[in-house]
Chain A
Amino acid sequence: SEGEAGGKETEKNAKEYSFKLAHIAPENHIWNDAAKNLAKELKERSDGRMTVEIYPGGQLGSDADMVQQLETGALDFAFITNAHLTSMSDAFSAWFSPFLFDSYEDVLEASKSDVAKDVLATVDDTGIKAMNYFFSGNRVMLFREKIETPKEMEGLSMRATPSPALQDWYRSLGANPESISLPEVYQAAQTGVIDGMDMDLDAAVTSNFNEVTGYGALTNHMVWPSIMVTNKEQFENMPKEDQKIIEEAMAATSEYATLKRSSQEEEFINTLEDRGMELYKIDESLFTPYTEKFDEKYKSKDPLIKEFIETFR
């Protein structure tokens, strides 16, 4: 971080920075590509003044840990899941409105909008600053038995990330959301503790979920934002041009990671099908009544969520 690294002043009065960047995804995950890209962008745009040390794989702890380290300044940047940020500010739930975006390209555009920036600003009164988004892992539904309509989901136990919006979505479908911890998900699906899971294709490939859930509905019902977060005080004390470098580097990374993930979609589908998983679509219109119910509930939660949904619906 800036203070400890000495913040060396060169003759041009341009500071040098050695940043620490952490995230929870493994080294071969798209998030780590994003991290490396951000490091590269920062270095190039600052003519080598900004270097980044990357801590992948949750080496520095969970989302909660990293947020706390960002607050104290032990850490300079982290990629935090949108799911975690919903526990700090309700407004982030807006991104989990079902069926709001058609493609990675769409959601990337949406992230540049004013209302998306307003959502980021809702954590401004804490010690962290949410800077920008990138998107990886649109949600799909994996099942042990073939489920072809939302109606059939009634009473199913579905593992979903423990964030209220995700769990509410399954509740509104009449399913029972379960928050079994990730290391236990495989076996829970294998033995039937759960009937299915809310997942993304990347994770399905890496964790071999095709072995325990033979059917996958390519619903793409929700997007999966990752938020690039920094220490607020440190950022605001930087010279304007350095702030600009960071903002531009992040914008570039947002674009890079989201589009790269978009291009991998087909490969993941092929891999899963090769392994014998049956992947299929469910007519989106069947979900409309449930989506409306969700919108109704979440619009009344927060004016920003209302504005968000009305902008993109």
Chain B
Amino acid sequence: MKTLDTWIESVEKVISIILIATLALVIATSVFYRYFLNAPIYWATEASIFMMAWLTFVGGSLGLKYKSQASITFLVERLSMNGKRILDMFSHIVILVFLIILLYLSYDWIFSLSSQKSSAMRIPMWVPYLSVPVGLTFSFIHLLNYTIDLVKNNKQEGNAS
């Protein structure tokens, strides 16, 4: 589990680096092509949006792993170490249950897509849509790994906040 978790983390980082760099290049290049060469890149808008979708779900998963997503912590922080741990376990179980539901819905959605194509590039829509189940699967694995550690009680307390 742990190895899988770290492996996914590296994959996410590689995806992130490639996507954000490409995104900035594509937008700037498309401005250049339109304004200076008078030859707009017709697929730039669509490709950028699809890249942002992947960034969102993959980066969202990384953010959940690093606990950098906004949450309300002022109450939790007043609890004792043990209280915190129990609450953390409770909230992670809630999250995992709902992620399972969401994963089921997402895969069901992906596999039942009608043959819809994107409007500019004419690529099948599952290409951008797949970011949803993939990102959620990655999140699930990160959070499951975290929860297992919590239960095993060998997680450093500091990581929990």
Which residue numbers of A lie inside 8 Å of B, CB to CB? 64, 67-68, 71, 83, 86-88, 123, 125-128, 155, 157, 162-164, 167, 176-181, 193
Which B positions have Cβ atoms within 8 angstroms of A? Answer: 34, 38-40, 42, 45-46, 109, 112, 114-120, 122, 125
| Inter-subunit contact A88/B116 (CB<8 Å) | yes
Residues from chain B with Cβ under 8 Å of A157 in the complex: 34, 38, 40
Total A-B pairs, Cβ < 8 A: 54
| Sample (27) of A-B pairs whose CB atoms are under 8 Å apart | A64-B125, A67-B116, A68-B109, A71-B112, A83-B119, A86-B119, A87-B117, A87-B118, A87-B119, A88-B114, A123-B114, A126-B114, A126-B115, A127-B114, A128-B114, A157-B34, A157-B38, A162-B45, A162-B119, A163-B119, A167-B120, A177-B42, A178-B34, A179-B42, A179-B45, A179-B46, A181-B45
B40 and A176 contacting across the interface, CB-CB below 8 Å: yes
Contact among B46, B112, B115 with A162 in the assembled complex (CB-CB below 8 Å): B46
> If the complex has contacts A157-B40, A179-B42, are A164 and B34 also in contact, measured as CB distance less than 8 A?
no
Question: In the assembled complex, which residues on chain B have CB atoms less than 8 Å from the CB atom of A177?
Answer: 40, 42
Chain B residues with Cβ below 8 Å from A125 are: 114
- Nearest A residue to B129 via CB reads A64
A73 to chain B, nearest CB (A): 12
A residues in contact with B40, CB < 8 Å: 157, 176-178
User: CB-nearest residue of chain B relative to A162?
Assistant: B119
B16 to chain A, nearest CB (A): 25
B117 contacts across to A, CB distance below 8 A:
87-88
CB pair B116–A87 under 8 Å, yes or no, is: yes
Which of A88, A178, A179 has the most CB atoms of chain B within a 10 A radius of its CB? Answer: A179
CB neighbours of B114 from chain A (8 A): 71, 88, 123, 125-128
CA distance A283 to B122 in the complex (A): 34
Known: A127-B112, A155-B38, A176-B39. 13 other contacts (CB 8 A): A86-B119, A87-B118, A87-B119, A87-B125, A88-B114, A162-B45, A162-B120, A164-B122, A167-B120, A176-B40, A178-B40, A179-B119, A179-B120
The residue of chain A having its C-beta at the shortest distance from the C-beta of B49 within the complex is: A181
Say yes or no: A176 contacts B116, CB within 8 Å: no
Return chain A residues, CB-CB under 8 Å to B39: 176
How far is B116's CA from A181's CA once the two chains are assembled, in angstroms?
21
Chain B residues near A127 (CB, 8 Å)?
Answer: 112, 114
Task: Please give me the residue from chain B that is nearest to A176 by CB atom.
Answer: B40
Q: How far is the CB of A195 from chain B (nearest CB, A)?
A: 11
B2 to chain A, nearest CB (A): 37
Residues of B within 8 A of A164 (CB): 119-120, 122
Determine the chain A residues whose CB is within 8 A of the CB of B118 once the complex forms: 87
Q: Which of B42, B119, B120, B122 has the most CB of A within 10 A?
A: B119
Q: From residue A30, how far is it (CB to closest CB) to chain B in Å? A: 24
B42–A167 CB distance below 8 A: yes
Chain B residue at smallest Cβ distance from A125: B114
Nearest-neighbour CB distance to chain B for A137, whole angstroms, equals 18
Q: Within 8 Å CB of A167, what residues of B?
A: 42, 120
* With contact pairs A88-B114, A126-B114 given, residues A176 and B119 touching in the complex (Cβ less than 8 Å): no
Docked Cα-Cα span, A71 to B38, in Å, equals: 42
